Amino acid sequence: MHIRPSSASSPRRVALLAAIAALVIWPRALVLPADQREERIIGPGVRWQRWVRPEGPWVIHIVEADLSQSYIQVAPLHAGARVADALPISEQAARVTRADRYPIAAVNGDYFVMEGDQRGLPIGVIVRAGEVYHNPFPRSALVVGPHRPPRVVILRMNAWIEAPRKGRRALDRINNPRGNGHLVLYTAHYGSFTGTSASGVEAYLHPETPTLMPGVDLKATVGAVQRRVGNAPIAATGWVLSGSGEAAAFLGALRPGDAVTVRVDFDPPLAPEDEVIGGGPRLVRSRRVSVEDEEGILLPAFAARRHPRTAVGYRDNTLFLVTVDGRQPGYSDGMTLEELARLMVELGCQEALNLDGGGSTTMWVRGAVRNRPSDGRERAVANGLAIFSAAPKGPPARLVIQPGMVCALPGTVVPLTVEAEDPYYNPVSLAGDAVRWQLDPALGTVDEHGQLQLAAAVRPPDGQSFIEGRLRAEAGEARAEIPVRVYGEPPRLEVVPALVRLLPGQKYSLSCRAFDEGGRPIAVPEGLVRWSCDPALGSVDERGVLAAGPDPAAGYVTAAIGATRARAQMAVGSVSRLVDGFEEGIPWQVTVYPREVKASAAISEGRARGGTRALALSYDFTTTAATRAAYAQVEKPLGAPFALRLAVFGDGTHVWLRARLRDAAHQVHTVDLTRDLNWTDAWREVVGMIPPEARPPLTLESIYVVEPRPDHRVRGCILLDDLRAEYPPEPPAGAASAPKP
């Protein structure tokens, strides 16, 4: 590999370092001693569990609901009346909360368009309250209804319109963007306008009922027919038919006043009360792992790489909602689809379905998001799936103390909350009843504000790591108690983040977390942590604030409480190395996915960013609606970089640009270079951070463009040049002997 160092003082270099400095990499995988399981009953026949599994590590949330309970139902959530509306799951749940029927748990649902004019539009089918909102996509969906168990099915739509003089013509889509030759039916749930171009014909329909019910002949009268206008307004009680190509000719033969019939059928058929949301792929079939690449639409990396995941499964009348947090090494890595399927089988699911994951993964329980979304916040999503309770509200029957267990060091102040629940596990007011606390005074006291003050002088007996007591709360006839453990010093510490990259002179705040033998957090008094760092890095103060030195360096920052220590890696600056300048003509091979995609790669002369040559990658994504990708493949050893950067001459097609890496364990990792290639006829530098879980040495397998949106059919050509990898500085002599946790 030809290596050429870059100038450390160039403007591009400064911009790159700024991008690198903004990156916070979560801690690497921890070794936890054993599974942890917490459980809480949240409704009649409904329980919520939180599992921590060290082998991932994985943090898993599970809601298990007995649908045979008379008060319990399952139903989809929706962000609004429009199919493209998007709201966080917590807000979707709030929208449908009533006194006599209210959600008690929910997860996110189907995939949806995340960018562009169609942002928020779901990918799969929506059937809601007996009405078709959106046509199916060729992968599995979930059907739920009040009188039979849930079902995982691939729904196939047979929809048509019958008109005088023209006979019957198939409807290609419902409330979806119009493609070439498509006939699309729009209802008011799509929005106020069709959003179509002027290249087709649109006919206004006045239905006898605006509800688009499946399995029923629906009568309508043709209103105006407009040609080459586009973007037709959609009346609140009307429909619009929009067609292009041969479908436009069909609509052009309609006349105002014509009586037409519209029908939408599904295979398998739906009951009138069934509701449907999309997802996919299927994970479990007949109690066996069965990750099914339905219709060949899944990219291999989507299934094989660990991501945050959401799934739904069922066994007879028992429903499981499951989330697995991810992209947070050391906390939870996420799962492959195979791992997720095995989890659903372990739970006893007969059938199970994958739902949208990544930053969308959300587990909401009793008014709060309980998982840790990978974006750091709850994402607005198209729809979800909720467990509803219709149980009546009653008087207080029990108390619930949070946290459910206290683990802390002497002198710590721990805020407590106490809530009352009725016999059906609904939160209720204590109605003025004062909470009375009981705790051995040798351990600590609870003040009138619910603050637990642990005694500063308490120490565990010799030979023991902690001393334990019971904290009790009473209010009226309701009561609860939790264990309180006070440790002399923590069994384990963790510095967060475990890897920091800074610009020279930059400051950054670290934090130190303490854990018990089982991986439970231990509360620590302020000011107890002792901080130190390698002198070449700069300095760290008593609050854990790093101040990077003036020169490139690498080393360790150490945190200590008593004899327990932990450390984090720190790098100041970076070293850039050329991977390929495309001057030597090293062959890059082209592959595509799926096979209908057309693409080519060739060395281009005369339009290079640096030197005389660049790599031209041409692609045609107009041939199919499936997820499409065009790969420029190569085998280039990289070693242990933490970032890639690349000069790109854009074509403005708004596709994704990614790199694909293989690590030492032969796991495949993707690097996002840009999620929106939106510039044209200009060179721009993009930077992609390599996932911290990728184990070096790494090998570059490909650079590729990808388009997952079914309606975004484009073709283009981009130029690539000056492909570089970024490496941390070499640690100073002796850094390898830094104290270990």
pTM recorded for the entire structure? 0.73
Half-sphere exposure for 32 (CA within 13 Å, toward CB):
26
Angle (CA) 104 105 111, round 5° = 140
CA dist 705 and 632 (Å) reads 9
* Alpha carbons 163 and 180: distance in angstroms, whole number: 22
Report the Cα–Cα distance between both ends of the chain, in Å, rounded.
37
Q: Write down the pLDDT at residue 296.
A: 58
Instruction: Evaluate whether 219 touches 208 at the Cβ level (below 8 Å).
Output: yes
Superfamily of domain 491-573: Immunoglobulins (2.60.40.10)
Q: How far is CA 227 from the centre of its chain?
A: 42
Sheet holding 46-53, edge to edge: 36-43, 46-53, 58-66, 318-324, 309-315, 351-355, 282-285, 288-289
Q: What is the dihedral of CA 127, 133, 136, 140, to 10 degrees?
A: -40
Reported as a single tens digit per residue, the pLDDT across 305-356 is 899 999 999 999 999 999 999 988 778 999 999 999 999 999 999 999 999 9
The CATH 2.60.120.260 portion of the chain extends over 11-22+576-727
Please check whether residue 152 is in contact with residue 283, taking contact to mean a CB–CB distance below 8 angstroms.
no
Q: Where are the alpha helices (DSSP H) in 237-299?
A: 246-252
Instruction: Label residue 36 left, alpha or beta by phi (over 0 means left) and psi (-120 to 50 means alpha).
Output: beta
Residue 72 contacts residue 65 (beta carbons within 8 Å): yes
Give the integer Cα–Cα distance in Å for 532 and 90. 42
Where exactly does CATH 2.60.40.10 map onto the chain? Answer: 491-573
Burial of 217 (0-12, 13-18, 19+ CB in 10 A): exposed
- CATH 2.60.40.1080 occupies which residues in the chain? 406-487
Tokens of 621: 């994504």
Q: How far is Cα 321 from Cα 571, in angstroms, rounded to an integer?
A: 41
Query: Over 519-540, what HEC string results?
Result: CCEEECCCCCCEEEECHHHEEE
Mean pLDDT per 10-residue segment, the chain (741 residues): 33 45 34 67 97 90 97 96 96 97 98 86 95 95 91 97 91 95 97 94 97 97 96 97 95 96 97 95 96 72 89 97 90 93 98 97 98 94 98 94 94 95 93 86 94 96 94 93 96 88 88 87 94 95 94 92 94 90 86 93 88 94 90 95 94 96 87 94 92 88 92 93 90 42 34
Report which secondary-structure segment, H or E, holds 680. Answer: strand 680-689
Q: At 46, list the tokens.
A: 């409904």
Task: Report the candidate in 167, 172, 146, 244 with the shortest Cα–Cα distance to residue 203.
Answer: 244
Q: What is the pLDDT of residues 104-113, one digit of tens each?
A: 999 999 999 9
Strand ranges (E), 588-679: 589-593, 598-605, 613-620, 628-639, 643-651, 656-662, 668-674
CA 359 to CA 616: how far, in whole Å?
A: 33
Cβ burial, residue 409 (10 Å; 0-12/13-18/19+):
buried
Query: Quick one: which H or E segment has residue 93?
Result: helix 89-95
* Multiple choice CATH, 11-22+576-727, 2.60.120.260, 3.20.20.80, 3.40.50.2300, 3.20.10.10: 2.60.120.260
Distance CA 171, CA 189 (A): 17
Length, in residues, of the chain: 741
Query: Phi, psi (5° rounding) for residue 262?
Result: -120, 135
For residue 189, what are the β-bridge partners? none
Cβ contacts of 243 within 8 Å, gap of 6 or more: 178, 182, 183, 184, 200, 201, 202, 249, 250, 251
- According to the model, what pLDDT value does residue 359 have? 95
Query: Phi and psi of 703, rounded to 5°?
Result: -120, 135
Residue type, 289: V
CATH of domain 406-487: 2.60.40.1080
Tracing tokens 């009790």 back to the chain, one arrives at 472
Would you state the CATH architecture of domain 156-267?
Answer: Sandwich (2.60)
Rounded CA separation 702/631 (Å): 6
Return the pLDDT at 20: 42
Structure tokens at 396: 């207080």
